[in-house]
């Protein structure tokens, strides 16, 4: 059986706009993925812990608060500490181009702004996940 | 970074969350490594007490499970913190194969030591996934004291949880039908403890009375069935429910019923595995699909009846 792609969709920090996260979660579900949705106000620690326990392939963070330059590096760091570097950390929200480039440099994946077609995100995840998988032998 | 099964099992025995999670994935995907994993962990399986929670969607199962987890983490015996693990099952879409696993939303304020794993049922209709039982074995070997298993929100006949739990808790809410619903076959037959959640709502008292009236009609009630009222969102009734489950376990152990129960579950598990294997052998083989198509044509041409066709196919396998 082909392994299912598992994705954790999170809303870190204090902003309560979870519509985007829910739309993404539904779109990934419709694309045949197993989406673990954790809801609002997640700390980076909670996100990294959930990602490890759920053994997800991808974490998608939805950030509209402007705290992306703090939250993405922190989650990335916690994943490294947990030995879970194969997980693709991606996301979206209101993030300036320069910041996207800076985050990509430290190992964050593609980030998506408002108006991105869902297909583009689905295709990106489908292309990226197989490159990172390390199944036990 | 590739992990071998041996490394992962060693990690599991150290209670390493990452190794445990990866083993769960292999079990969930029914990977070829499962046989090796099962024999590597079998000496450590059987310690955890497995509590199954089932009931209709929106009855408050996730909130209740989270509240109980919180209770038991804080209430560890002899000063040691109890290890609580949760397996929460949600439905897979029959159309896309995707799933939205949302039970963690109600479980966000739990202690970091609680291991939560969300599972999609992947097409299985009994309220849990085909591999939920195997996932529970891994979390048992992880060192869990309490293993709380939450089913998909079920209707009436999804009762497979009873075959992989030590005790089945059915969660109901007021205002969801009259006593005839409770008399129907299925859900209430597997109930060993009943929770009336959202007990602050109108109709809670009459629901409890209705449940009490049908308990007396149960033919196989060698243990009286406790009914506990809770308001899980306000943490009301959780201490009592925890105590009720603990007492149930004590009763089971002292009367030798836990062993009987686990033997019965094991029996059902062997049957499930054999049936799944046979299904794969018969329908998964080369040319099976083409043969099925040809048989359909035969039946449509009135050369064979469906009954004759099934006899013919079965005879190929049974000598």
Residue B100 to residue A41, Cβ atoms within 8 A:
no
**pLDDT above 70 coverage of chain A, percent:** 96
Residue B1 to residue A33, Cβ atoms within 8 A:
no
A135 has a pLDDT exceeding 60: no
Per CB-CB distance under 8 Å, the chain A contacts of B99 are: 29, 34-35
pLDDT along chain B (319 residues), means of 10: 86 96 95 94 96 92 96 74 93 91 90 95 87 96 96 80 93 77 76 94 90 74 82 96 96 94 93 85 85 94 94 86
| Secondary structure element (H or E) that encloses residue A92, with its range | strand A88-93
Domain that holds residue A72: 6-131
**What phi and psi values does residue B137 have, to the nearest 5 degrees?**
-60, -40
Give dist(CA B154, CA B137) in Å, integer.
Answer: 23
Partner B contacted by A108 (CB < 8 A): no
A26 lies in some domain? yes
| 3-state per-residue secondary structure call for B19-36 | HHHHHHHHHHCCCCCHHH
In chain B, where does the domain assigned CATH 3.40.50.300 lie? 45-257
CA-based nearest distance A81→chain B, Å: 11
Partner A contacted by B34 (CB < 8 A): no
Q: Determine how many CB atoms are found less than 10 A away from the CB of residue A74.
A: 17
Residues near B263 by Cβ (< 8 Å), separated by ≥ 6? none
Report the largest interatomic distance among the alpha carbons of chain B, rounded to a whole angstrom: 74
Partner B contacted by A80 (CB < 8 A): no
| pLDDT for the residue numbered A70 | 94
Per CB-CB distance under 8 Å, the chain B contacts of A1 are: 29-30
Residue B117 to residue A53, Cβ atoms within 8 A:
yes
A136 lies in some domain? no
A137 has a pLDDT exceeding 50: no
Q: Say which CATH number the domain at A16 has.
A: 3.40.50.280
A137 lies in some domain? no
| Secondary structure element (H or E) that encloses residue B227, with its range | strand B227-229
| pLDDT for the residue numbered B256 | 93
A1 lies in some domain? no
| pLDDT for the residue numbered B279 | 84
Count: domains in chain A? 1
Partner A contacted by B276 (CB < 8 A): no
| pLDDT for the residue numbered A1 | 45
pLDDT of A85-131, one tens digit each?
999 999 999 999 999 999 999 999 999 999 899 999 999 999 999 99
Residue whose structure tokens are 């009734």: B237
Nearest CA in chain B to A53: B21
Residue B104 to residue A36, Cβ atoms within 8 A:
yes
Give dist(CA B135, CA B84) in Å, integer.
Answer: 14
Residue B306 tokens read as 């469906």
ipTM: 0.92
Residues near B84 by Cβ (< 8 Å), separated by ≥ 6? B69, B72, B73, B113, B114, B115, B144, B145, B146, B147, B148
| pLDDT for the residue numbered B14 | 95
A28 lies in some domain? yes
Give dist(CA B67, CA A86) in Å, integer.
Answer: 33
Q: What's the DSSP call for residue B59?
A: S
CATH of domain B45-257: 3.40.50.300
């Amino acid at each position: 059986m082909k392994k299912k792609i598992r994705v954790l969709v999170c809303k870190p920090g204090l902003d309560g706009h979870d519509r985007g996260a829910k739309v993404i979660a539904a779109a990934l579900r419709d694309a045949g993925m197993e989406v673990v949705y954790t809801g609002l106000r997640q700390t980076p620690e909670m996100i990294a812990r959930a990602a490890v326990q759920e053994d997800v392939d991808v974490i998608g963070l939805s950030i509209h608060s402007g705290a992306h330059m703090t939250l993405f590096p922190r989650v990335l760091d916690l994943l490294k500490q947990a030995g879970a570097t194969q997980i693709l950390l991606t996301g979206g929200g209101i993030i300036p181009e320069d910041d996207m480039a800076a985050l990509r440099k430290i190992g964050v994946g593609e980030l998506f702004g408002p108006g991105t077609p869902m297909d583009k995100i689905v295709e990106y995840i489908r292309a990226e996940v197989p490159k990172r998988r390390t199944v036990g032998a | 970074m590739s992990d071998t099964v041996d490394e992962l099992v060693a990690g599991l025995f150290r209670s390493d969350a990452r190794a445990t999670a990866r083993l769960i994935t292999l079990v969930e995907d029914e990977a070829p490594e499962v046989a090796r994993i099962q024999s590597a962990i079998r000496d450590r399986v059987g310690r955890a007490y497995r509590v199954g929670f089932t009931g209709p969607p929106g009855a408050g199962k996730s909130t209740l499970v989270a509240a109980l987890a919180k209770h038991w983490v804080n209430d560890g015996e002899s000063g040691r913190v109890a290890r609580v693990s949760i397996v929460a099952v949600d439905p897979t879409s029959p159309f896309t194969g995707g799933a939205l696993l949302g039970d963690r939303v109600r479980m966000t304020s739990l202690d970091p030591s609680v291991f939560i794993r969300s599972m999609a049922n992947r097409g299985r209709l009994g309220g849990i996934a085909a591999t939920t039982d195997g996932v529970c074995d891994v979390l048992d070997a992880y060192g869990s004291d309490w293993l709380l298993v939450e089913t998909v929100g079920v209707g009436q006949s999804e009762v497979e949880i009873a075959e992989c739990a030590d005790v089945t808790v059915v969660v109901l809410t007021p205002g969801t039908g009259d006593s005839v619903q409770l008399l129907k076959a299925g859900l209430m037959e597997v109930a060993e403890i009943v929770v009336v959640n959202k007990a602050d709502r109108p109709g809670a008292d009459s629901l409890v009375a209705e449940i009490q009236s049908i308990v007396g009609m149960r033919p196989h009630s060698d243990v009286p069935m406790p009914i506990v009222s809770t308001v899980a969102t306000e943490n009301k009734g959780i201490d009592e429910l925890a105590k009720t489950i603990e007492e149930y376990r004590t009763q089971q152990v002292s009367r030798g019923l836990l062993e009987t129960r686990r033997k019965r579950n094991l029996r059902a598990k062997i049957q499930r595995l054999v049936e799944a294997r046979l299904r794969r052998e018969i329908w998964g083989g080369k040319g099976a699909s083409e043969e099925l198509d040809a048989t359909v044509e035969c039946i449509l041409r009135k050369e064979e009846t469906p009954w004759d066709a099934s006899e013919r196919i079965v005879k190929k396998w049974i000598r």
